[in-house]
Structure 1
Amino acid sequence: MSQTRSAQPPKYPFRAPEALVPPEEWADLRQTCPLAPVTFPSGDEAVLLTRYEDVRTALVDPRLTREGLARPDAARITAGDAEGIFSSPMAKTLNAEGHVRWRRMVGKWFTAKRMSALRPRMEEMTDRLVDTMIEQGAPADLVSHVAFPLPVYVICTMLGVPEGDRDLFKAWSDTFLNMTRYTREETDAAHREFAAYMSGLIAEKRAAPGDDLLSRLMDASDTEGEPMSEAGLAATGQALLLAGHETTAGFVATMTAHLLSDRSRWERLLEDRSLIRSAVEEVLRFDPNGSGFGMLRYAHEDVELADGTIPRGATVVCSMAAANRDERAWADADSMDLGRSPNPHLAFGAGPHSCLGQPLARTELQAVLSVLLRRLPGLEPAIDATKLRRQEGMLTTPLLEMPVTW
């Protein structure tokens, strides 16, 4: 493993100078210490990967697993996190279902073809949200008017969850993802409340099934005819609700912020709508905080990477966002090229644990961007990009607000 130049490993996560600008440490570590010791808020040490080749390799290597984070020698993100944020009851339940089996049963409902069929409804809902925003007048906050409510509407519709409960999901999500604000007791209570809510919803659907994903999963089985357990159904509902709104809402806001921060980007899309798909992919690559904290892995044995060796027993942080700015992997890595192709970015991870819902996220982002370009061609930021602020102390770092005018 590469060595840092100081005795005390730097504290992680790093602070960025601005909301749309990457932390200064990334470029330095990629050059001088691609496998860098870092210290979590708990005081535990881990290894941070920042180069594209190393991150991609680590994400697909079976010797580096997410399940190993439940081991007692795995690094904890926060001091009060006795079991680890990534080893929550929900995560343990899903692991017990068997990851490959679970993905096979759930993943078929998140194919690109199925998501494409939902796009007209996504655009219709975005139009309604834009109508409301226009009625209330400029300036308006794109986060509260569009970026947050749209993904909540979509995932609630897919799962058959009452949209009116979305404030509950937001509160639970913030508790699970926050690194410093909540105590262990508060986090445990949130897990229990969310699990109880989902178990109750599943019981209601067993009595009266609907045309939604949770109802269909009740009747689904694996290749051996075994259905998902009751606990697995509840944990699946929790995981999809959390993943289905939190990160996508953040991407919608930051996508718009990046495209508006340089007016030439927005103008280029107005002139050529065929670039929408590649523009979404480029924003996913370019955004310095899109993947938040990064993906954690536990090394069950020594793992040789291109730039060094990860020792057995180490906890590893795969920074996809840092890897997506690696000059070795991308021409003009720090420039946004809306027509970039190919674009094998790591925003959704890689390998067997890559984001199952990435077709959903991509379709939502394309739908939102299409509607905003059509409805609000004169959209502009209402504040300078240097004044945008992100959530702090979270595993994900969405913009607090995105004020716009038109």
Structure 2
Amino acid sequence: MTYYSPVGSLGADGADPEEDPMGASNAEELLPYPIPNDAALSPPAEWEELRDRCPVAHVRFPSGDEATLLTRYDDVRQVLSDPRFGRGTEAEDAAQMSDSGGVFNSMLAMALPQTGEAHRRWRRLLNRWFTARRMAALRPRIAEMAERLVDEMVEQGRPADLKAALGFPLPVWVICDMLGVPDADRDRFAHWSNLLLNLTRYTREEVAAGEAEFFAYMGGHIAAKRAHPGDDVLSELIAAGEAEAEPWSDTTLIATGLGLLIAGHETTANMIGKMIAMLLSDRRRWEQLLTDPSRVRVAVEETLRLDTNAGFGMVRYVDEDTDVAGTRIAKGTTVVCSMAAANRDERAFEHADELDLTRSPNPHLAFGAGPHSCLGQALARTELQVTLEVLLRKLPTLELAVPPEELQRVEGLAVGGLREVPVRW
């Protein structure tokens, strides 16, 4: 039995919650969130049911705290685009995602400005690093590294785990390069990224220890960059801050480094594996791209939209009463916006459950929307496009080494992923 409870005295469709057809009469047995789903490449059945019958619903986080879930495209875009609402990490009544803590409820997360002019200034300075010109300049270096990793994978023989051989090492190399971190420390960064984004695997003590290790490492790294600036984002932020009235504190710089690590490694690393698995699960898609490589950019956007394993979504703290889908959401509510569920909303996308390599335009919400949209989306797009281009060119016979239904999800991670992506060629 699926249990969930619509928010407010009436559901979005006007139904009495006590008579909700999907079992909402027992408000204590709320739908757990993230919604359990064994299928790696198929969405939970609840997504469609929630969009149709209860687009503003009560759910329960792994911590046991209750929150409000949004699943329709227009509603998710409305809340994400509202500049009044941030993550609310400093609010005492904000729902905690996990008992273990983690990056979203950490001291470092609270160090970043969430709203207002301070947040706009922070984004403005960081945006200088993610311009189209910088991404174009970085593209050949990403392609060179991707080709090297593919060559190493081929040398090791088939079958291979594409995630381990290419998906994880490429983005961590890129983000370490951007932060001016030595290649020798890549494994440490990958460990911290996994530790701080996991909701269930680690204890609070393990997460706190990992956060302290990251803080100590980045503190020393930033001190070195202050003394000897380089061609990296931290050196540029230090210089930009010193040129303004309020220089950046070390804590803010460390938190920024953590944010770039999380956004620049774990999400893209997992998306590389999911993108290739989605395209190879019906190999006619791969053949389409081999025939017409100009569709690579469209393919990247469509796999981002159709990602059923996208993870937690974006959390927002509503600090004043607001109306969504005809429902009043009270001040002090933690709202989780499921971009993945919204991206399959038939109200926004024709044939929303189909992977269409001709879909354009494609205004998906994979990177969020509004003032908190993903800063690194240009970098993520560049990495995904380059990876797909390199694989199509170097391994045209690439295929999954297991049936798609045997692929397994990574459980407990705030960003979705696959345990392995077995391939052969």
TM-score scaled to structure 1, two decimals? 0.95
What residue is the counterpart of 1:14 in the other structure? Answer: 35
- Alpha-carbon contact 1:169-1:242 (below 8 Å) kept: no
- Alpha-carbon contact 1:147-1:249 (below 8 Å) kept: yes
Worse-matched range after superposition: 204-213 or 1-10 = 1-10
What residue is the counterpart of 1:88 in the other structure? Answer: 106
Measure how far apart 1:368 and its partner are.
0.4
Measure how far apart 1:70 and its partner are.
2.4
What residue is the counterpart of 1:332 in the other structure? Answer: 351
Cα distance in 2 for residues equivalent to 1:223 and 1:21: 50
Distance 1:63 1:102, change over 3 A: closer
Worse-matched range after superposition: 19-28 or 216-225 = 216-225
Q: Is 1:356 equivalent to 2:390 in the alignment?
A: no
What residue is the counterpart of 2:213 in the other structure? Answer: 193
Q: Is 1:259 equivalent to 2:274 in the alignment?
A: no
Q: Is 1:34 equivalent to 2:73 in the alignment?
A: no
Please list the CA deviations of residues 351-386 of structure 1 after superposition, one character each: whole Å capped at 9, or x if unmatched: 111000000000000000000000001000001111
- Alpha-carbon contact 1:69-1:297 (below 8 Å) kept: no
RMSD: 1.7
What secondary structure, in the 3-state scheme, does the structure 2 residue paired with 1:182 have?
A: coil
What residue is the counterpart of 1:347 in the other structure? Answer: 366
Structure 2 residue corresponding to 1:45, chosen from 41, 62, 66: 66
Cα distance in 1 for residues equivalent to 2:158 and 2:187: 25
Please list the CA deviations of residues 109-152 of structure 1 after superposition, one character each: whole Å capped at 9, or x if unmatched: 01223112211111111110111011111101101111111111
Measure how far apart 1:174 and its partner are.
1.9
Cα distance in 2 for residues equivalent to 1:331 and 1:337: 10
Cα distance in 1 for residues equivalent to 2:295 and 2:251: 43
**Amino-acid identity (%):** 59
Worse-matched range after superposition: 344-353 or 171-180 = 171-180
Cα distance in 2 for residues equivalent to 1:226 and 1:274: 46
Cα distance in 2 for residues equivalent to 1:323 and 1:343: 13
Measure how far apart 1:273 and its partner are.
0.9
Cα distance in 2 for residues equivalent to 1:44 and 1:14: 15
Worse-matched range after superposition: 149-158 or 214-223 = 214-223
Measure how far apart 1:346 and its partner are.
0.4
Structure 1: runs of 5+ lacking an equivalent: none
Aligned length: 402
The code of the aligned residue for 1:141 comes to: D
TM-score scaled to structure 2, two decimals? 0.91
Worse-matched range after superposition: 380-389 or 217-226 = 217-226
Distance 1:268 1:200, change over 3 A: same
- Alpha-carbon contact 2:80-2:368 (below 8 Å) kept: yes
What residue is the counterpart of 1:269 in the other structure? Answer: 289
Cα distance in 2 for residues equivalent to 1:222 and 1:206: 10
What secondary structure, in the 3-state scheme, does the structure 2 residue paired with 1:209 have?
A: coil
The code of the aligned residue for 2:65 comes to: D
Structure 1 residue corresponding to 2:320, chosen from 287, 290, 301: 301
Q: Is 1:384 equivalent to 2:407 in the alignment?
A: no
Measure how far apart 1:43 and its partner are.
1.7
Measure how far apart 1:310 and its partner are.
1.5
Cα distance in 2 for residues equivalent to 1:312 and 1:231: 30
Measure how far apart 1:222 and its partner are.
8.2
Cα distance in 2 for residues equivalent to 1:262 and 1:48: 32
- Alpha-carbon contact 1:46-1:75 (below 8 Å) kept: yes
Q: Is 1:152 equivalent to 2:172 in the alignment?
A: yes
Cα distance in 2 for residues equivalent to 1:149 and 1:42: 31
What secondary structure, in the 3-state scheme, does the structure 2 residue paired with 1:297 have?
A: strand
Worse-matched range after superposition: 322-331 or 87-96 = 87-96
Cα distance in 1 for residues equivalent to 2:61 and 2:179: 35
Structure 2 residue corresponding to 1:24, chosen from 24, 39, 45: 45
What residue is the counterpart of 1:394 in the other structure? Answer: 413
Distance 1:363 1:327, change over 3 A: same
Distance 1:222 1:276, change over 3 A: farther
Cα distance in 2 for residues equivalent to 1:197 and 1:171: 13
The code of the aligned residue for 1:201 comes to: H
- Alpha-carbon contact 1:303-1:311 (below 8 Å) kept: yes
Alignment of 1:274-289 (within 5 A): 274-289=294-309
What secondary structure, in the 3-state scheme, does the structure 1 residue paired with 2:241 have?
A: coil
Runs of 4+ in structure 1 displaced over 6 angstroms?
Answer: none
Measure how far apart 1:224 and its partner are.
4.5
Cα distance in 1 for residues equivalent to 2:202 and 2:39: 25
Worse-matched range after superposition: 113-122 or 250-259 = 113-122
Cα distance in 2 for residues equivalent to 1:79 and 1:362: 33
